[in-house]
Amino acid sequence: MNEFLPSEFFLSQNYPNPASSYTSISFSGRVGSNGKLLLLDENGKIISIIWDGEFVKENNEANFDVSRIKPGIYFCKLENEMKTVVRKLVIQ
């Protein structure tokens, strides 16, 4: 089986943004590699680990409950041992 391995590490903008209850975040990385998807506050402090694991497929999606997080500006960070991508996330 010849599986497509994405050459790019990608984090899409969450939807909806701003979010009030749930938000959906799409991301991708090289199949077989490990990564983390984190929610950070404005100071870079980790608020939540949204996903931590191995990329088992090309396109991934996390549905994240933000209803218990206070309103404000946050950052969604996708990282692995070689790359990092960050997107702004607003919770209302």
> Would residue 21 count as lying in a domain?
yes
> Would residue 2 count as lying in a domain?
no
- 39-83 pLDDT, tens digit per residue, is 999 999 999 999 999 998 888 999 999 999 999 999 999 998 889
- Range 24-41 average pLDDT: 94
> Would residue 5 count as lying in a domain?
no
> Would residue 17 count as lying in a domain?
yes
DSSP class of residue 68? T
> Would residue 45 count as lying in a domain?
yes
Say whether pTM exceeds 0.85: yes
Q: How many domains does the chain have?
A: 1
3-class secondary structure per residue, the chain: CCCCCCCCCEECCCECCCECCEEEEEEECCCCCEEEEEEECCCCCEEEEEEEEECCCCEEEEEEECCCCCCEEEEEEEECCCCEEEEEEEEC
* Residue 53 domain boundaries: 10-91
pLDDT for 17 beyond 90: yes
> Would residue 48 count as lying in a domain?
yes
> Would residue 47 count as lying in a domain?
yes
> Would residue 1 count as lying in a domain?
no
- Range 11-31 average pLDDT: 94
Report the CATH number at residue 78. 2.60.40.2550
